[in-house]
Amino acid sequence: MAEIQTKVINTMTPIMPSETRKMLSGDGVIELGDIKTFIISELSSKVQQLQGYLATAQENITKLQEADLSTAGEISNLQTGLRNLASSVNNIASGGLVFNTICAQVMQDGKAVDGEFGYVVLKKTSTGKLTMSVLNQTEYEAIFKEESTNE
């Protein structure tokens, strides 16, 4: 049986870095400068890609902050409308009103639609029962015109 001989080397000779030094690879000899250039190029590409992602994220954050401010205003308007509705319901329930309408701006995809309104109509029947209807603008105008011509 053949015996394998090994040698232990306990000393290392320092080698100064050089971009022209060659390195043996599976495909042959590669200059270290080429490896450095490749790595820097790849890192630069990834940094640019990450900067693009960061810019997109910052734009999205800005848009969300603007939407939050807009939504806060809409929530405030809605709260005011709900307080008015509660007051109207109390007035009708106490017998003060027979008919009341609350107008609300129509919203689509979180934004107010110019010139379009919806209506919450509260009526008190002869038996004292409250009824509520939600009407679009066309329905409301048809009823309102009909009631105003009957007066």
Alpha-carbon distance of 124 to 97, in angstroms, equals 8
Write the DSSP assignment of 76-140 as a string of letters. Answer: HHHHHHHHHHHHHHHHHHTTS-SEEEEEEEEEETTEEEEEEEEEEEEEE-TTS-EEEEEEEHHHH
| pLDDT > 70? residue 139 | yes
pLDDT per residue over 83-128, tens digit each?
877 777 776 666 555 566 777 777 777 777 787 777 777 777 777 7
Q: What is the pLDDT of residues 40-70, one digit of tens each?
A: 888 888 899 989 999 999 999 988 888 888 8
- Cα–Cα distance between 86 and 96 in angstroms, integer? 14
pLDDT, average across residues 69-79: 81
- The DSSP 8-state label assigned to residue 21 in this structure reads -
